[in-house]
Amino acid sequence: MKILFFSKRFTQVFLGLVALAFTPSGMPAAESQTPGAATNSVAIIGEGASPAFRAVASRLELGGCFYDYSETGGVKILATFLDEILKALPERERKDIPPGFTVAKLFHLLGLDSVAATGSSARTHADGGFHSRTFAYMPDGRKGLMTLSGGPAAKLMLLDFAPKDTDLALEFPIDLKDFAREALPEILAMIPPEGRAQFDREMSQPLRPIGITGRQIIEKLDLRAGIFLRLDPSQKFQPAPGAPPLPGADAVIVIERLGWLVEALKPQFMPMLSQPDSPVSVTYEGGVLTLRMISPVDRPPLDYQPVLRYDSKADRILIATRPAIFGSVVAGGEKITQGADFAQTWRDLPDEGNACIYASPRLLRTAADLIEIAAKSDRSSSPADKVIIGKIFNWVKALLNRGQAVVIANQPDGILTLANASVPIASSSMTAVSTVAVMAGFALPVFSRAQVRAVETNDLSTLRQVQIGLRMYAADNKGIYPTALSDIMPKYVNDKRILEFSDRRTGRHIPWLYRNSLTEISPADELLVAAPVATAEGKRAVGFNDGSARYITEAEFQTLWNRK
């Protein structure tokens, strides 16, 4: 949904003024010396001393290769100034700005007006890397998008659940409660009435598998998730002809505080998964539900055999790609902390935080090799361009010989970011903005994808109920499917709404596409039922004659639906 759009001229002016406003003020400690004082001493001022300086400085390190402090009290002045510019713009420049929009409101939604001061520091590690710290001081607490980072910092999940030799660890929170209560109404107030009404309709519709509306999901969503991936160089697969081979991989996903959604889904899916012909084995012991794929989904190296474990007492979901890595994690096998690369990369970083990223040297080298192969095979670049690209790439590649890690940790009075990287990640001039960007980068795409997945799950659940009704009808009629979908009412399906696909873009309810020419013994990969229209992402929900259902691309749908 497009909420804001600005003209090119306004965008350029706005970004230029923001950059100017956040230009670092430099070292706050006065360097003026009294006569006869040692030339290497730094005087700490008394008169006019900033109360925010001590809070920021206590989170930083003095004496390294970089130190910076600045106060951002000018945010309000900047917002007022930019709003005056907006008012002075010609009508043609303001026509795309939503009614009621002000820069002050935008800064408030971003949480920038809650940042009183920022600071950064960096020092060099013995291996040539840098340990950097930035702190955004918010004496009145986090506001706006800053609240996406969740509550107080807690022990990072990767320390307990990432297996040894993990190559990529990505951990993040999604806390939308405060955002939904405080920022969302202000965002909606800036949307035209018709767009706001459409949003309200979509968010007020219960999702059929769980009976919870989108608005309720936003108000409940408060989770933290971890994705831990380990490469397997011994396995290779080629994603496409001519593409460079990729290493195999295993992964573990851990999600906490999402039990309310699992409990809502269980009545819908457990009966289906517990059927004798189900491809999943189900066990339930001591409040722990475990779902295991009975056989691999493909041939090596894509022979994944997922396992899902839901511990209701711990309110934790654990998903693993294969039984071996699942067993290792559940049994408390070797952990990421026992790997030499991780220990080297993680030094001086905390065990507690709200979000983190860790990339191993092996992952970075693998990515660099793949990029280099792709660059060399690129025929669109001229020889001169390739020479320039090669020099830049060689410089960057030299920085990828060590692991990289970043931790973001909420503090009672702000947000602290710590990093070990090949280049210093320290610039307090944009700490507040970058912190918002990082947290929004963690949370918003995941939330957006979660919304899409919730809609897809709802559609596929409805589609499976149609398929079950058709198969039950066929079982009573010598394997023949009904002439029309309505014939399965009410004996096999008692909810008429199931016979229609809900197009959330238009609000219309349209009958499913149905092939009544098939029979129960028709090929298993024939499409039996399909959504009448594609989603905004260009995909269609389809049900096959073997009873399976999934989303496929529009091109795949056209090929399967029209084949003879």
DSSP letters along 146-208, please? GGGG-SS-EE-THHHHSBTT-SEEEEEEEE-HHIIIIIHHHHHHTS-HHHHHHHHHHHHSEET
- Summarised one tens digit per residue, pLDDT across range 124-160 is 998 889 999 999 899 988 887 788 888 899 999 999 9
Q: How far apart are CA 251 and CA 249, in angstroms?
A: 7
Q: How far apart are CA 201 and CA 197, in angstroms?
A: 6
The reported pLDDT for the residue numbered 429 is 42
Token output for 403: 């692991």
The reported pLDDT for the residue numbered 336 is 96
Identify whether the C-beta of residue 170 lies closer than 8 Å to the C-beta of residue 344.
no
Q: How far apart are CA 42 and CA 53, in angstroms?
A: 15
Q: How far apart are CA 548 and CA 554, in angstroms?
A: 18
The reported pLDDT for the residue numbered 424 is 83
* Average pLDDT for 339-350: 95
Q: Where are the beta strands (DSSP E) in 204-279?
A: 206-207, 212-213, 222-237, 246-256
**DSSP secondary-structure letter at 245?**
P
Q: Tokens 């230029």: give the residue.
A: 16
List C-alpha distances in Å: 403 to 120, 249, 397, 424. 21, 18, 12, 14
Report residue 232 CA to chain centroid gap.
24
Per-residue H/E/C for 295-364: CCCCCCCCCCCCEEEEECCCCEEEEECCHHHHHHHHCCCCEHHHCHHHHHHHCCCCCEECEEEEECHHHH
**DSSP secondary-structure letter at 335?**
B
* Average pLDDT for 502-525: 85
Q: Where are the beta strands (DSSP E) in 349-503?
A: 352-353, 355-359, 404-411, 414-421, 500-503
Identify whether the C-beta of residue 460 lies closer than 8 Å to the C-beta of residue 265.
no
- Summarised one tens digit per residue, pLDDT across range 360-388 is 999 998 888 887 777 777 666 667 766 77
Q: What residues contact 95, with CB distance under 8 A and at least 6 apart?
A: none
**DSSP secondary-structure letter at 64?**
S
Dihedral sign of CA atoms 2, 458, 509, 528 in order: positive
User: Any idea which of 205-219, 301-315, 375-389, 498-512 has the lowest mean pLDDT?
Assistant: 375-389
Q: How far apart are CA 539 and CA 53, in angstroms?
A: 53
User: Any idea which of 90-104, 168-182, 242-256, 295-309 has the lowest mean pLDDT?
Assistant: 90-104
Residue 526 has pLDDT above 80, yes or no: yes
Q: Which of the pair, 91 or 32, is modelled with greater confidence?
A: 91
Q: Which amino acid is at 132?
A: S
Q: How far apart are CA 461 and CA 465, in angstroms?
A: 6
Report residue 93 CA to chain centroid gap.
34
Q: How far apart are CA 496 and CA 516, in angstroms?
A: 19
Identify whether the C-beta of residue 132 lies closer than 8 Å to the C-beta of residue 425.
yes
Q: Which amino acid is at 277?
A: D
- Summarised one tens digit per residue, pLDDT across range 262-310 is 998 888 888 888 888 889 999 999 999 999 999 998 888 889 999 999 9
